[in-house]
Structure 1
Amino acid sequence: MANLLGIVLFALGICLTVALHEAGHMLTARAFGMRVRRFFIGFGPTLWSFKKNETEYGVAALPLGGFCDIAGMTAQDEFITEEERPYAMYKKPWWQRIIVLSGGVAVNIILGFMILFVVAQTAGLPNPNADTRPVVDQVACSADQLDNGELGSCTGVGAGGEAGIEQGDRLLTFNGEELESFQQLRDEVLIRPGETVTIEVERGTQVLELPVELDTVKRNIDGEMVDAGSIGLIQEPLDIIEKHGFVGAIPATWNYTGYMLEATVQGIIEFPSKIPGVVASIFGAERDTEGPMSVVGASRVGGELVEANLWAAFFMMLASLNYFLALFNLIPLPPFDGGHIAVVLYEKIRDFFRRLRGKAAAGPADYTKLMPVTYVIAAALMTVAAVIIVADFVNPIKLLG
């Protein structure tokens, strides 16, 4: 029941995110005297709608986004009426058009910030600047794993302790390679039973290079008992979650927002390279937990988080969705908001150089020349969306196992 509740709540959160994005366009358009014809959540056939004043509000069949139809968004708007023409968007100053086109992006960034601001005061936010390099909390002996999954008995201080590694040491390198986490250390040690490796540690002001002869122990890996390496070191718990008061939450949220926006940009850059993996996952390959998800997949993960009572992670994922929607829409290609902004800026720059040559402004750009690009990108987006949705049904991402 909790899982279903989480799925429903996250799906509603997505719908609200899309609705507020489009509301950002609608409200700024009205503020500058533009005519808004339709405000819809979803695409395709209309499921339900009503009309108030000059605007039709509704819900469409395909929950893959939404749209705000502004009269005269381009000079080639063939549906504009004479009554709408004075309110046409293309007739407005360039800066007003950019504000309207950016309205949805601004709303999503503000909404993401507000969500994180609340999380900062309730559950706390991860500190992106926290030192997460591995530090030793305990040195311990190396025990074999028993058939029931538990560890057997052992004595001594293990390979790490025998080599001179002590509690409080910060682990710097493994065989010359920088160590970023204890998990990285574990993965390297596991495949080297009985080998001698070199660990560089920081102890106070000293940096020591220690040879370590790894222990050989029995471990159950993929259902088979095999010889594995062991170093006998236990990690010092990481304390990277910080809870803040109202005032302190402002800079903390600002800093974490910057971190999330940077990560989102990187994710968008890597997005095309992730698609082949999504396709392969449909046919049985392992699904990348850091790969793209559709509305379906994100809602399922939301259900997992609620079932595990991880509400902070639930809302942080919703904030991340807002940042993704904001930055993805800034891609300077049609039909994204960024593509329309790029055209407005092109008009402004073009007319600036025309004035330098003593010529009059050339007027609105001809969007019909961009239609082939728009159709290709729209078709690609729909295809990719369909592939990800299929993958989310047949091989969904499961963050909690």
Structure 2
Amino acid sequence: MTVIAFIIGILLMVVGLAVSIALHELGHLAPAKLFGVRVGQYMIGFGPTLWSRRRGETEYGIKAIPLGGYISMAGMYPPSPKGSGDGRAGGGFFATMVQDARASNDETIAGDEDRVFYKLPVYQRIIIMLGGPVMNLLLAIVLFAIVFSGFGVATATTTVSSVSQCVIPASENRTTCRASDPEAPAAAAGLKPGDTIVSIDGTAVSSFDQASAIIQRSPNTQLTFVVERDGQPVTLQVTPMLAQRAVTNAQGVAEHNADGTVKTENVGFVGIGPTSEMQRQPILAGPQAALQNVAQVGGLIWQMPVKVYETAVTVVTGGERSADSPMSIVGAGVLAGEVASADVPVSNRIAGFLSLLASLNIALFVFNLVPLLPLDGGHVAVALWDGVKRAWARLFRRPPPKPVDATRLVPVTFVVVVALIVMGGVLILADLVNPVSLLGH
């Protein structure tokens, strides 16, 4: 592993994350200005300001910690109710937080009460809040399209790259043969690396998946292989043996039983591995991959607390961490470093990095849609509730209701923020002491 390349990969991930955040906030900024909302700040990152410049009424800047960003819009919430008091005398911790949130919001309203967020029609508020996540989705679609249609996808071919000398049970965690292991059928039949499979039992095969399917459903059945070797056809008789194989999911990750053991199945096995080559995909393959990724990440988001707990257990016990466990930006940086320093062609490394960055943007898209403040989905939920109240009033010919005062949800927001900080801390610790690695443990 080249240290310099590894560091470059991490730095590229930091830059990629900063660009993703900048586009996310731009997705909020553009419609906000289009609908006339006064925007005081557009900031990338948190903490001390490294650089800023004011253009018109908006200050644009970069802060020291590139783990997020924000725009400051006037009047995110309605002004404080009259006679609400300062909330600090005997009001309790959460009451003080509510009043502080209202006071900060009131400062953004002062001077121009017509250009505020909370007075916009419901659909405009939803467009503004969805603008950020949608930008992440669009970026992911573009990146996946570049990877799939520009660089291509590593695809198993019908050319044999390796021939196993023996059959090792899937339940045994080893890679070397023992004297007691049976000889692999492919080796016994004379298959060699470099052979290209042309047909099996008279059925022409054009992909390794086709060949694998025939082999797996034909245990203990002699098959006639026609392979091309050094430009000449060679006929071999191969009898797949019945063997255990680990069951994998769509991502190629081994599935486990309830007791933690690897789930296996009995299939025909001959002991060959395919060569891979990059094959460009149709232009729609990238967007399709992005949408599939959205569905997968969406399923994981709702399991996040459980997944984080399981990850924390591996940190304490030293157990093996699941390949599909959640990770922090630290973990993403490690993977980017591994991709950049991998012993593969540069084009493969670029494609791998772009895929990783695209997946990160899918995670940002899905995560920000969770309907909890302070996430964008929480603001969308507030706007929808306001719309429901107004529609209900119109339906029954009642006076328009007051705007929804989301500052009342500050205590809930506080709990969500604390939970996010705790989960983020656990994942960062796990990524430091027990990281998910492309190279395996």
What TM-score range do you get, normalising by the shorter chain? 0.7 to 0.9
1:142 alignment partner AA: C
* 1:138–1:167 contact (8 Å) kept in structure 2: no
**Structure-1 residue corresponding to 2:332:** 298
Q: 1:180 to 1:348 in 2, by over 3 A?
A: closer
SS in 2 for 1:67: strand
Q: Which of 89, 96, 99 is the aligned partner of 2:117? A: 89
Deviations 1:65-87 (A, max 9, x none): 11111111111422124333221
Deviations 1:129-161 (A, max 9, x none): x9x9xxx999976379xx995788986847999
Q: 1:138 to 1:71 in 2, by over 3 A?
A: closer
SS in 2 for 1:39: strand
1:106 alignment partner AA: V
SS in 1 for 2:326: coil
Deviations 1:295-319 (A, max 9, x none): 1211111010011142212111111
* 2:335–2:438 contact (8 Å) kept in structure 1: yes
Query: Is residue 42 of structure 1 aligned with residue 45 of structure 2?
Result: yes
Q: 1:304 to 1:95 in 2, by over 3 A?
A: same
1:96 alignment partner AA: Q
**Structure-1 residue corresponding to 2:274:** 237
Q: Please state how far the C-alpha of 1:266 moved relative to its aligned partner.
A: 1.6
Cα separation, 1, equivalents of 2:280 and 2:24: 29
Q: Which of 364, 374, 392 is the aligned partner of 2:431? A: 392
Within a 5 Å distance, the mapping from 1:47-86 to structure 2 comes to: 47-76=50-79, 77-86=105-114
2:113 alignment partner AA: R
Cα separation, 2, equivalents of 1:112 and 1:93: 29
Q: 1:33 to 1:21 in 2, by over 3 A?
A: same
SS in 2 for 1:396: coil
* 2:23–2:136 contact (8 Å) kept in structure 1: yes
* 2:45–2:69 contact (8 Å) kept in structure 1: yes
2:271 alignment partner AA: I
1:65 alignment partner AA: G
Q: Which of 104, 110, 117 is the aligned partner of 2:132? A: 104
Q: Please state how far the C-alpha of 1:23 moved relative to its aligned partner.
A: 1.0
Cα separation, 1, equivalents of 2:220 and 2:391: 71
**Structure-2 residue corresponding to 1:18:** 21
What is the percentage of aligned positions where both structures have the same residue?
33
Moved more, 286-295 or 10-19: 286-295
Moved more, 74-83 or 331-340: 74-83
2:65 alignment partner AA: L
Q: 1:238 to 1:85 in 2, by over 3 A?
A: farther
SS in 2 for 1:163: coil
**Structure-2 residue corresponding to 1:224:** none
- TM-score, normalised relative to structure 1: 0.75
- TM-score, normalised relative to structure 2: 0.69
Q: Please state how far the C-alpha of 1:56 moved relative to its aligned partner.
A: 1.7
Cα separation, 2, equivalents of 1:47 and 1:156: 62
Q: 1:313 to 1:59 in 2, by over 3 A?
A: same
SS in 1 for 2:138: helix
Deviations 1:250-288 (A, max 9, x none): x22222122111111122122221112322333333333
Cα separation, 2, equivalents of 1:286 and 1:156: 30
SS in 1 for 2:106: coil
Cα separation, 2, equivalents of 1:257 and 1:280: 31
Q: 1:91 to 1:239 in 2, by over 3 A?
A: same
Q: 1:383 to 1:351 in 2, by over 3 A?
A: same
* 1:138–1:166 contact (8 Å) kept in structure 2: no
Q: Which of 379, 390, 396 is the aligned partner of 2:418? A: 379
Q: 1:233 to 1:180 in 2, by over 3 A?
A: farther
Moved more, 16-25 or 232-241: 232-241
* 1:305–1:314 contact (8 Å) kept in structure 2: yes
Cα separation, 2, equivalents of 1:10 and 1:156: 43
Q: Please state how far the C-alpha of 1:34 moved relative to its aligned partner.
A: 0.9
2:287 alignment partner AA: W
Q: Which runs of 5+ in 2 are unaligned?
A: 80-104, 169-173, 190-214, 226-237
Cα separation, 2, equivalents of 1:72 and 1:262: 34
* 1:120–1:243 contact (8 Å) kept in structure 2: yes
Q: Which runs of 5+ in 1 are unaligned?
A: 192-196, 202-231
1:27 alignment partner AA: A
Q: How many residues align?
A: 349
Cα separation, 2, equivalents of 1:183 and 1:325: 23
Within a 5 Å distance, the mapping from 1:160-309 to structure 2 comes to: 163-164=220-221, 166=223, 199=266, 233-235=270-272, 237=274, 242-244=279-281, 248-249=282-283, 251-283=284-316, 284-308=318-342, 309=344
